[in-house]
Amino acid sequence: MAGTAVLGMAAVVSCQQKDSKNGPYNIVYIMTDDHTAQMMSCYDTRYMETPNLDRIAADGVRFTNSFVANSLSGPSRACMLTGKHSCANRFYDNTTCVFDSTQQTFPKLLQQAGYQTAVIGKWHLESMPTGFDYWEIVPGQGDYYNPDFITMQNGTVHRHGYITDIITDDAIDWMENGRDKEKPFCLLIHHKAIHRNWMADTTYLSLYEDKTFPLPETFYDDYAGRPAAAAQEMSIEKDMDLIYDLKMLAQGKDSRLKRTYETMLSRMDKEQRAAWDRFYNPIIEDFIKKNPQGKELAEWKFQRYMRDYMKTVKSLDENVGRVLDYLEQEGLLENTLVVYTSDQGFYMGEHGWFDKRFMYEESMRTPLIMRLPDRFKRENGLEADGANKGKPRDIPELVQNIDYAPTFLELAGAEIPDDIQGESLVPLLKGEHPDTWRDALYYHFYEYPAEHMVKRHYGIRTDRYKLIHFYNDIDEWELFDLQSDPQELHNLYGQEGYETVTEGLKSRLLDLQEQYDDPVRFSPDRDKE
Ligand code: SGN
Ligand code: CA
């Protein structure tokens, strides 16, 4: 220990040479699972405060029209890594696909450009990560309590604690001790939270219990004119499991997912389990006493769902705060882009649902906020004046998760290969609004038949309209005017007066299917018959 002071001095000196403030930008990309914009106060103030996420937006930008290409974990991650739609990266669904890890991804291209790359947390692509100098991932969906991690040597290590804390600890540890500080870095922090079944850290179990949330206006949607919406199995009322999802272990009836929940509980140590039971047991007793039925039960489930989800977000927000504090303390904010997004959006009771998958707004949308490097802001004349300080700058253009890869490559000064289908967001980050920016987004969801029974569909979303085609064991079109019907309740397809709009959208849809080379296309001729 005697040499610590001397070593400390040396570290200060060499630190000044390292982590160059003028070199290529670092990227810290934080992606959560199933965290929807409704549950972030920088997007929506109705439900909960997320002060640390709001810090990211306040020092940067908030994309107000950010979407995914295929609203499901693995596919979304594959789109993000490759900058390509599912049809091009060939990871269509969570259940049958294995990511071809030999294909081009942005981490590999960043490595070639001299970056150190790392991914920590949920991976969910079946094959092992490639293109990373360091990785540690959770198997499959991972566990909230005392999770296992697969490490680079393919060994499984068991860790004690709550997953959101552990992922953050390891991410900070890699930035501090694991990386080569002479090189720019790109760190992907992939949280398991807020994925089902929303198991909160015991520290936060008591939060939000005094709150009662208004039911979303569409909670009792009857799905009239939308048969695919009617066929789903993701209803809070019918499909949300009392034991597994809402933790009512001994409420009398058994359930399909009881065993899964018990396995999760069995991972807890004595103290964690005691805190868990202390909190949930009185709620179980009260539930048994009240024995709600029908609408009362549906609404009881909604309230519990909201609370558990929010508690899980709370840990996430706190841990994002820790990452921001670390970057600030180390002087890294000068030269580091911090991105926060989710693998897709989520239903918080809208249409009566939980889960995602559909091309309808709540799940196709995904939050996207970025804290811009201080140097980037200075160099692009983006420093907020007094009045705007602390407020995010909104970017309204239509953006999609295939855009992240080219954005990071451009920021790194690397070339963007021609086969990347996304567009770099850098011009938008600089405050430009190019006339040539895309006017429509393409979407394609494949995982059917499968859990939640959301039928296969593809579609197009413009600023104003959405046209969806459900196919496979159904052949149904839906058209929504998002301006007059933002909740997507009134299917206008085939209605008088919408012929021209429909024709135009179909033709643009076909253009997009050609542009992205999607072999699944509708036949315009057959459809005219
Ligand atoms: C699990 C969940 C589903 C969820 C999928 C996909 N069921 O299978 O509710 O839709 O993951 O989610 S569970 O009983 O295992 O919790 S994704 O975000 O990974 O795509
Ligand atoms: Ca997800």
**More confident position, 524 or 275:** 275
Q: Please give the full DSSP string across 107-175, using - where no structure is assigned.
A: HHHHHHTT-EEEEEEE--SSSPP-S-SEEEEESTT--SBS-EEEETTS-EEE--SBHHHHHHHHHHHII
| 26 CA to centre of ligand 2 in angstroms | 26
State which of 92, 141, 241, 245 you would mutate to test the pocket of ligand 1, scoring each by most atoms of that ligand within 8 A of its C-beta: 141
Please, which pLDDT band fits residue 521 given cuts at 50, 70 and 90? confident
Q: Which atom of ligand 1 is nearest to the CA of 356?
A: 10
Is residue 467's pLDDT more than 50? yes
Counting ligands in written order, the one closest to the CA of 141 is: 1
Six token digits for residue 329: 């303390």
What is the average pLDDT across 174-188?
Answer: 97
Length in residues, the chain = 529
Q: Whose CA is closest to 269, among 197, 156, 161, 196?
A: 161
pLDDT band at 1 (very low <50, low <70, confident <90, very high): very low
**Model confidence pLDDT, tens digit, residues 19-47:** 888 889 999 999 999 999 999 999 999 99
* Backbone dihedral angles phi then psi of residue 65, each to the nearest 5 degrees: -135, 70
Closest ligand 1 atom, residue 33 Cα? 18
- Which numbered atom of ligand 1 lies nearest the CA of 124? 19
What is the mean predicted confidence (pLDDT) over 102-120? 98
Ligand 1 atom closest to 452 (CA): 10
Q: How confident is the model at residue 11 (pLDDT cuts 50, 70, 90)?
A: very low
Res. 154 pLDDT band, cuts 50 70 90? confident
Q: Which residue lies with its CA nearest to atom 4 of ligand 1? A: 355
Amino acid at 94: N
Contact assessment for residue 69 and residue 444, using Cβ atoms and an 8 Å cutoff: yes
Nearest residue (by CA) to ligand 1, atom 2, is 196
% pLDDT > 90, the chain: 90
Q: In the predicted model, what is the mean pLDDT of residues 257-263?
A: 96
Rounded CA gap, 315 and 321, in Å?
10
Mean pLDDT for the chain overall? 94
Q: Is the minimum distance from the CB of 355 to ligand 1 under 6 angstroms?
A: yes
Work out the average pLDDT over 169-178: 98
pLDDT at 16 over 60: no
Tokens matching residue 148:
């296992």
User: What pLDDT digit, counting tens, does each position of 355-408 carry?
Assistant: 999 999 999 999 999 999 999 999 999 987 776 777 889 999 999 999 999 999
Higher pLDDT, 244 or 5: 244
Instruction: Name the residue of 245, 341, 357, 451 to mutate for ligand 1: max ligand atoms within 8 A of Cβ.
Output: 451
Judge if the upstream peptide bond of residue 137 is cis by omega within 30 degrees of 0: no
The residue nearest atom 16 of ligand 1, judged by CA position, is 196
- Other C-beta atoms within 10 Å of 47: how many? 19
pLDDT of residue 433 exceeding 80, the answer is yes
Q: What is the CA radius of gyration of the chain?
A: 23
72 Cα: distance to centroid of ligand 1 (angstroms): 9
pLDDT score, position 76: 98
To the nearest 10 degrees (0 to 180), the angle between helices 51-58 and 294-329 is 50
CA distance 181 to 152: 21
d(CA 274, CA 222): 42
Question: If you measure from the C-alpha of residue 196 to the centroid of ligand 1, how many angstroms do you get, rounded to a whole number?
Answer: 7
Lowest mean pLDDT, pick from 82-86, 143-147, 382-386, 465-469: 382-386
Answer yes or no: are the C-beta atoms of 315 and 204 closer than 8 Å.
Answer: yes
Q: Kindly report, residue by residue over 197-210, the tens digit of the pLDDT.
A: 999 999 999 999 99
How does pLDDT run across 269-322, given as a tens digit for each residue? 999 999 999 999 999 999 999 999 999 999 999 999 999 999 999 999 999 999
Ligand 1 within 6 A of CB of 94: yes
Q: Is the pLDDT at 250 greater than 60, yes or no?
A: yes
* pLDDT higher at 189 or 153: 189
Q: What is the pLDDT of residue 254?
A: 87
Q: Is the pLDDT of residue 81 over 90?
A: yes
CA distance 133 to 118: 6
Contact by Cβ (8 Å): 26, 372: no
CA dihedral (162, 354, 46, 404) positive or negative: positive
Q: Which ligand lies nearest the alpha carbon of 190?
A: 2
pLDDT computed for residue 417 by the predictor: 98
454 lines ligand 1 (CB under 6 A): no
Ligand nearest to the CA of 80: 2
pLDDT at 12: 41
* Percentage of the chain lying above the pLDDT 70 cut: 95
Q: What is the number of other CB atoms lying within 10 angstroms of the CB of residue 501?
A: 16
What does the longest C-alpha to C-alpha distance in the chain come to? 86
For residue 72, pLDDT over 80 is answered with yes
196 lines ligand 1 (CB under 6 A): yes
pLDDT band at 525 (very low <50, low <70, confident <90, very high): low
- How much is the average pLDDT of 41-68? 97
By the CB criterion, residues less than 5 angstroms from ion ligand 2 are 33-34, 73, 343
> pLDDT by residue (tens digit) across 509-519?
999 999 999 99
